[in-house]
Amino acid sequence: MPLLSEYTLTPDVFDSTSYSSDEVGSIQLQYLKEVLLNEGLVRDLRDGAWRSLFANNVRPWHRRGKELLKKLITQRRLRRFPAVLTSYPCTDHEWCEEALASHERTPLIGIVTTRNVADNYDNPAVASIDHLSSAPWWARRSPSVRLTRTVEEYRDNLRLILQCANSIMFIDPHLDPSRRRYRNFISLLNVMDSRSPAPLIEIHRVCYYGSGPNRELIEPLEWQKRFHDAWADTLRQANLSVEVFIWDDFHDRYLISDLVGISVPNGFDTTRNSNSITTWTRLGRKERDAVQREFDPATNRHALRYKFAVP
């Protein structure tokens, strides 16, 4: 299961009358909030019509539900999805039907609703907010994922991040597009092809190649040439730009975005050895923010040697 997952919520989840008491609603919505704001996106059905339901007080929206929606908006965790069914949904049941239709078109992880709606479905994708722990897809959630070191598996696990994040930092001290083991990396950037607005993309690596007595300091113009020769044409066609930061030294590898942070112990290089397996781990919000600050030139945690843009 990817470390960032997409869900759909029916409107009754936010309705205070769906819960036996205000306290029960607060507990269940707070539990859902912690998951969504750490590891989730919410599908904004019918090109934003779902979100527009909450613009007025036609229903008694629960205060915790309103807080959750506000956080989803400010953290840009709502993902617009086109209308699928012909008729506009007017009831919670019909919104669940729209969610299922969108799931058929592009699979998501699960649909969160209330028991009044969930009891009408045998579909395993549908679960009531008060029985989430019983849903197989909810139980499969994990802070880590095991994958082979192939660009195909990297792409599958990062696709939602690459399609939705507004800023992405690839932090790998050895990332060098002129080396065979990194030549497929460009296909990850291609997932962001023609996004509008284009995301902010950063590459962070060290200023040298090799280690110990074989360490070789690479000149700035040589780094620019390597990245431009390998990526410039492809990025130009994709309407993307990448900023490359060359640092004095660091060791750990990460992917840091505004949606999720991931520890990537072996970096983003690939191998043909199918037995080479790595484990990626999702960072907590504090850790993600700390890593982002670590690679901000203004903090002086590392010495920035130079930076340049591609193309």
pLDDT in tens, 200-246: 999 999 999 887 788 899 999 999 999 999 999 999 999 999 999 99
pLDDT (0 to 100) of residue 273: 87
Q: Structural domains in the chain?
A: 5-139 (3.40.50), 144-310 (3.30.870.10)
pLDDT at residue 246 in the model:
98
| Residue 271 amino acid letter | T
Please write down the HEC assignment for all residues of the chain.
CCCCEEEEECHHHHEHHHCCCHHHHHHHHHHHHHHHHHHEEEEEHHHHHHHHHHHCCCCCECHHHHHHHHHHHHCCCEEECCCCCCCCCCCHHHHHHHHHHHHHHCCCCEEEECHHHHCCCCCCCEEEHHHHHHCHHHHCCCCEEEEECCHHHHHHHHHHHHHHCCEEEEECCCCCCCCHHHHHHHHHHHCCCCCCCCCEEEEEEECEECCHHHCEECCHHHHHHHHHHHHHHHHHHCCCCEEEEEECCCCCCEEEECCCEEECCCCCCCCCCCCCEEEEEECCHHHHHHHHHHCCHHHCCCCEEEEEEEC
**Average pLDDT along the chain, 311 residues, taken 10 residues at a time:** 96 98 97 97 98 91 97 98 97 98 98 97 96 95 97 97 98 97 97 95 95 87 97 97 98 98 97 92 97 96 96 97
Q: What is the pLDDT of residue 193?
A: 95
Per-residue pLDDT at 98: 99
